A = this chain, B = another copy of it.
């Protein structure tokens, strides 16, 4: 697929910085950098391989206050910070003592990715996808999505002056349509469910040589963007790795890339190679990876999602087996939580740390609680929680459960009485 384009792209000089080739995840088949995502040899996902050379902390610290400070560790052009794109990253790592106390943990950090341009971690992956896609000669950024990804793609394309094509199910909530439509790209509502939209995207990616579907044909580059979460956590901790990290699982890509990021930092000598455990979080209503982990399987049985955590509702997660590998290798675990617990997780984080996360963040917080209760997470070890999206986008999850403490007439006595009741 995209054969014409990739043959063109091998003729021109593609500058993707330290990236040198693509490697298949199963059997390690190597092939030139191109907008392809599945190995023709073993049909496994393709991943970017690098020749990093020497990378020093000073190179990073003197870079811009966004993910491009890590450009020597990403598949992006060496002048990437000069090219119009969004500038996500360098979000807060918050020392969360009140959350720690509530959970019975010794030391907790919250990586608050709601500070990104469109308020989710998707800005990271989309920015890297856009930078790589430009090198391959694409001129349109595209995706199928039901939420965060749609926002991120439409916004990044707008900023770069690119066309965008965003495919959504026509039944999507009005608010999610507005937050994508405002960027004035080509937002197309498709009469069908998310599976229909996804299939359509794969077909269009194969047929349209100038469309970069961020999570299809340029997925190997796109997914590398999640490494920047690991890079930032390590740098913000003072160039060291945490002992435990809890990561939500949708396709599973983010979890494996956070691990990849930590390993790259270690192998480059940017941090000491101290042991860390990676934990995965799912909603019970879409918990194929958690179920496989619990049953000791190394393959993941697809499920039909039914959870309020829609941004994690991928029933057949592409990177599920690799998540199991990572979690088992590092000595972590995976758990899943009910929708009720998800809402409690959202409320706990808001109440203790003033951070309002979307349902995916509720999954991460609630799963952390469960992992402690089941003895899988060490309460004495330093723990990082990845909070990857914003509560403003999933207001329906808390609707009907929270509200004013009281409604009173406009008198000081009435306010005081309400507070004492």
Q: Which A residues form the contact surface with B (CB < 8 A)?
A: 65-66, 84, 86-87, 90, 92, 94, 97-98, 112, 114-119, 154-159, 161, 165, 167-168, 170, 174-175, 177-179, 181-184, 186-192, 196-197, 199-200, 203-204, 207, 346-347, 350-356, 390-393, 395, 398-399, 402-412, 415, 418-419
Mostly, the A contact residues are: mixed
Bound together, the chains give a CA A403 to CA B190 distance in angstroms of 13
In the bound complex, residues from chain B placing their C-beta under 8 Å from that of A154 are 354
**Cβ-neighbour of A352 out of B86, B116, B158 (below 8 A):** B158
Q: If the complex has contacts A117-B115, A179-B395, are A92 and B87 also in contact, measured as CB distance less than 8 A?
A: yes
Bound together, the chains give a CA A161 to CA B399 distance in angstroms of 24
- Judge whether B119 and A181 touch: CB under 8 Å: no
Bound together, the chains give a CA A196 to CA B87 distance in angstroms of 43
- Judge whether B405 and A182 touch: CB under 8 Å: no
| Closest beta carbon of chain B to A291's beta carbon, Å | 30
* Identity of the chain B residue whose Cβ is nearest the Cβ of A203 in the assembled complex: B412
Q: If the complex has contacts A161-B98, A207-B412, are A404 and B177 also in contact, measured as CB distance less than 8 A?
A: yes
Bound together, the chains give a CA A94 to CA B407 distance in angstroms of 42
- Judge whether B410 and A196 touch: CB under 8 Å: yes
CB<8 Å pairs between A and B, sample of 17 = A65-B65, A65-B90, A118-B354, A159-B353, A159-B354, A175-B395, A183-B351, A183-B354, A184-B350, A184-B351, A187-B404, A188-B404, A188-B419, A190-B407, A192-B409, A200-B412, A204-B415
In the bound complex, residues from chain B placing their C-beta under 8 Å from that of A196 are 410
| Closest beta carbon of chain B to A356's beta carbon, Å | 5
In the bound complex, residues from chain B placing their C-beta under 8 Å from that of A155 are 350, 354-356
- Judge whether B351 and A158 touch: CB under 8 Å: yes
Copies in the complex: 2
- Judge whether B182 and A398 touch: CB under 8 Å: yes
Interface centre among A90, A196, A203, A392 (most CB of B within 10 A): A392
In the bound complex, residues from chain B placing their C-beta under 8 Å from that of A192 are 409-410
Interface centre among A207, A391, A405, A419 (most CB of B within 10 A): A405
- Judge whether B158 and A188 touch: CB under 8 Å: no
Q: If the complex has contacts A204-B412, A410-B191, are A404 and B356 also in contact, measured as CB distance less than 8 A?
A: no
- Judge whether B404 and A199 touch: CB under 8 Å: no
**Cβ-neighbour of A391 out of B114, B179, B186 (below 8 A):** B179
- Judge whether B181 and A407 touch: CB under 8 Å: no
**Cβ-neighbour of A170 out of B407, B411, B415 (below 8 A):** B407
Bound together, the chains give a CA A118 to CA B97 distance in angstroms of 19
Q: If the complex has contacts A119-B119, A352-B158, A415-B165, are A405 and B187 also in contact, measured as CB distance less than 8 A?
A: yes
| Closest beta carbon of chain B to A248's beta carbon, Å | 19
Nearest 7 CB-CB pairings of A with B:
A155-B354, A159-B354, A192-B410, A189-B404, A158-B354, A189-B407, A184-B351
Q: If the complex has contacts A188-B404, A404-B177, are A182 and B92 also in contact, measured as CB distance less than 8 A?
A: no
- Judge whether A181 and B403 touch: CB under 8 Å: yes
Bound together, the chains give a CA A199 to CA B347 distance in angstroms of 31
Q: Given A186-B419, A189-B407, A191-B408, list of 9 further CB < 8 A pairs?
A: A114-B117, A117-B355, A174-B399, A177-B404, A178-B399, A190-B410, A192-B409, A200-B412, A392-B392
Bound together, the chains give a CA A395 to CA B180 distance in angstroms of 11
Q: If the complex has contacts A94-B87, A399-B174, A411-B200, are A347 and B179 also in contact, measured as CB distance less than 8 A?
A: no
Bound together, the chains give a CA A79 to CA B188 distance in angstroms of 52
| Closest beta carbon of chain B to A113's beta carbon, Å | 11
- Judge whether B184 and A409 touch: CB under 8 Å: no
- Judge whether A182 and B404 touch: CB under 8 Å: no
| Closest beta carbon of chain B to A33's beta carbon, Å | 26
In the bound complex, residues from chain B placing their C-beta under 8 Å from that of A409 are 190-192
